[in-house]
Amino acid sequence: MQVCKLRVQELVKSDLLEYLFKEISFVYKKEFGDTTIIAGEEFRLRNGSTQSYFIALNSTDTYLYIDIVCGGGSGGIINILWDSENSFVKKAKGLIAEFCTSNGKTIEEIDY
């Protein structure tokens, strides 16, 4: 499993969600309070397995915290990942960074 945590100052969550839904195939969305979780899965042809991914967005007064989580995608006799989990995290992080930059917002990766 690969995990990445980001922090963005004063970003409108609904705008980012709309952008992510255009760029990535999500099949689930749940909102409760200041938190939204979106999820999806993809079949990975190179190893014949399914990979699940989740993005959680949590709004506070000053920041939007974004957790990107990807798991699965391994297969075969020795359970090789072929870097698919990391590929999704990089893709999602890149899309979020692109969106933030185009909206004049600073994004930073933070430790868990």
CATH label of the domain that carries residue 52 = 3.30.70
- Which tens digits make up the pLDDT trace of 23-45? 999 999 999 999 999 999 987 66
Domain membership of residue 100 (yes or no) is yes
Q: Are 35 and 56 in contact (CB under 8 A)?
A: yes
Residue 20 has a pLDDT of 96
Residue 83 has pLDDT above 90, yes or no: no
Q: What are phi and psi of 42, to 5 degrees?
A: -135, 145
Please, which pLDDT band fits residue 54 given cuts at 50, 70 and 90?
A: very high
Residue 80 has pLDDT above 60, yes or no: no
Structural domain including 16 reads 2-36+48-110
Mean pLDDT computed over every residue of the chain: 87
Number of domains in the chain: 1
Residue 112 has a pLDDT of 66
Domain membership of residue 41 (yes or no) is no
Domain membership of residue 72 (yes or no) is yes
Return d(Cα 107, Cα 1) in angstroms, integer.
Answer: 23
